[in-house]
Chains A and B, each alone.
Chain A
């Protein structure tokens, strides 16, 4: 009752002087907008600006319009890099999310002995910096000095070389899965925690078993969280960089300079000084990632409705 006149007052003032605008709101969002423009919009704008030029060792910088984009769209090295991360995406992401789902359901079931220890140990790899993780796995993968080498020596066998060109992508998938199962588990587990326990009680009273509860209650409740985890994983896959960059020292012939789109962009600018073309590749890849993530989100939401 008290609120009514107060709420009415500003609207009355606004009606009285329609020419004046209140800047109070802008003052609140101003700091955010400034930082957002500086660290988010400015780099994108600069990359787009860069991508419109060409700098040569002989001849200097010239404006070339969309030439770099035409070149990128017809660049076999770029598309082979894209194909590789796409393959990585369709194989590694489902495996990782399925494992994360299993772990989340297991912890949430309440039937696990030492659940909190289990939860923290599954999550722990995520706390290891990606570079350290790649180095660590690189040492384990070594057939001459690492874990594989020791196993070969101790057991007298000859395991396949995880750093060979046939297996390197799978080996990287293994590292990424190890790193991110815990992270995705946490997203899914927290979604499970907000399910009202009375639903489970009601289901049990109706005679539903655990599997039925999972199928009918938990999985539908997880749909939103799974969608988020999927979108994060798509973006992560397309941005694959650390692992190939670190492992390249150990497998220089298996990991090319255009192994993933990000690594290709890196090689272009820092090995070949082709900053303009590198910016173009980064923008093209960014747009592709956005489109795919958006399509997945749209489909996910339609199903959810």
Chain B
């Protein structure tokens, strides 16, 4: 059963890769005849840039990059890397878009999540890395993230991490109230009720309306609300997968069983530490964030497979995950790409994995020292085994909008109403759909 599913997934992945290859082929430039010459030339160029030295600015919020920057500067003492946290997610994109518009104050490297990359690529705000040799990296990364950095025949970033989802839970809380770790969403809802009844201050999780979480949940449930074909875009939140999600999650929202705390807020970190937020269904990049942000939770947290829609099912989805990209106006692109390659392909990957990051590179994901690593924070659990398994079970065929950054920014205007009034999630999603369609039309997309 499992093996056939895996085979199907692999087949799907292979198919989509070959489709991309065809797309690349039609635009020319990836012919294998010229490959060797270009590659060596560009590798020399990169080495020359590193030897010459200089200074680059990196905008990123990923905590493990700090070590990478330190190592990189030790290895290439002439290069100075300024690592700037310009905000997480949308805040940073706002700053980046402003800088692109102004044409000044641009970083040389920026962290961009997979869902946001198509928008930057479409607006020609980030550089096509094909010319730097990124097209030779086929097979270096797992298919999901590698597909995510392709857009219209170009490669606009190098995958930094990936976010197959899993259930992170506070074992102390579960033990204290004698609650079983839920395997299905039905059990999850039951656990939410049981926990909140036992301790009115404790919630199964937090949720005030999070676009990334909601789309990932719909993804796992088999929904495919976005259909994107170049500039032709279709949006439909009425499909069966979406309804499966809303029917279940509505019970948690209506029953006030989710903590009204925004993710990444101070209250959120506090709740994760003191046991009032008992679980997170979130991407595999979370361990590093827990270790650095929630010191009080050390030893209490564990990781389990994502709850399923059908008992015994094996479906997961991606949540977040980022690439590093080079803004179009960056001053020193060669040096920037050299850093990208170091951080996401070469030595930097191992440094980040050691820091708790979840890589997108196949070499690290399959390495025994990665899968067998014990995490003291998680009570010596071999966390990566759960996460790597999830990586292989991601439902294929999902796509984001080419203007997902905007769509996500109005999520709380529309779906957010379901969290503070009598509006249902399904109605909220319909309103979100309408707002997204309207924006798409205004931006010149062909809406279907």
List residues of B (413-438) whose CB comes within 8 Å of A's CBs: 413, 416-417, 419-421
Chain B interface residue count, CB cutoff 8 Å, equals 36
Cα separation A135 to B196 with both chains bound (whole Å):
30
Cβ A258 vs Cβ B413 within 8 A = yes
Give chain A residues whose Cβ lies under 8 Å from the Cβ of B405: 271
Contact for A57 among B97, B123, B412, B421, CB less than 8 A = B123
Cα separation A40 to B445 with both chains bound (whole Å):
37
Cβ B266 vs Cβ A145 within 8 A = yes
Give chain A residues whose Cβ lies under 8 Å from the Cβ of B283: none
Give chain A residues whose Cβ lies under 8 Å from the Cβ of B270: 145
Q: A56-B443, A59-B444 are in contact. Are A252 and B409 (CB under 8 A)?
A: no
Q: Which of A164, A252, A257, A270 has the most CB of B within 10 A?
A: A252
Cβ A58 vs Cβ B261 within 8 A = no
Contact for A58 among B101, B119, B412, B444, CB less than 8 A = B444
User: Binary interface profile of A, 167-201, with partner B (CB < 8 Å = 1, else 0)?
Assistant: 00000000000000000000000000000000000
Contact for B409 among A144, A165, A257, CB less than 8 A = A257
Cα separation A59 to B444 with both chains bound (whole Å):
6
Cα separation A57 to B265 with both chains bound (whole Å):
32
Cβ B231 vs Cβ A58 within 8 A = yes
Q: Say whether B130 faces chain A, with CB atoms less than 8 Å apart.
A: no
Cβ A270 vs Cβ B97 within 8 A = yes
Q: Which residue of B lies closest to A57 (CB)?
A: B443
User: Binary interface profile of B, 72-110, with partner A (CB < 8 Å = 1, else 0)?
Assistant: 000000000000000000100010011001000000000
Give chain B residues whose Cβ lies under 8 Å from the Cβ of A165: 420-421
Q: A145-B270, A253-B419, A256-B413 are in contact. Are A271 and B406 (CB under 8 A)?
A: yes
Cα separation A82 to B261 with both chains bound (whole Å):
29
Cβ B123 vs Cβ A273 within 8 A = yes
Q: A57-B123, A254-B420 are in contact. Are A272 and B267 (CB under 8 A)?
A: no
Give chain A residues whose Cβ lies under 8 Å from the Cβ of B412: 252-253, 256-257
**Minimal beta-carbon separation of A54 from chain B (angstroms):** 8
Q: Say whether A217 faces chain B, with CB atoms less than 8 Å apart.
A: no
Q: Say whether A267 faces chain B, with CB atoms less than 8 Å apart.
A: yes
Cβ A164 vs Cβ B420 within 8 A = yes
Q: Say whether A206 faces chain B, with CB atoms less than 8 Å apart.
A: no
List residues of B (212-240) whose CB comes within 8 Å of A's CBs: 231
Q: List 28 A-B contacts (CB under 8 A).
A: A57-B122, A57-B123, A57-B402, A57-B403, A144-B267, A145-B266, A145-B267, A165-B420, A165-B421, A250-B262, A252-B208, A252-B209, A252-B262, A252-B412, A253-B209, A253-B416, A253-B417, A253-B419, A256-B412, A257-B409, A258-B413, A270-B97, A271-B90, A271-B409, A271-B410, A273-B101, A273-B123, A274-B442
Interface residues of B (CB under 8 A from A): 90, 94, 97-98, 101, 119, 122-123, 208-209, 231, 260-262, 265-267, 270, 402-403, 405-406, 409-410, 412-413, 416-417, 419-421, 439, 442-445
Having A57-B403, A57-B445, one finds 6 other A-B pairs with CB under 8 Å, namely A144-B260, A165-B420, A252-B416, A253-B417, A257-B413, A275-B101
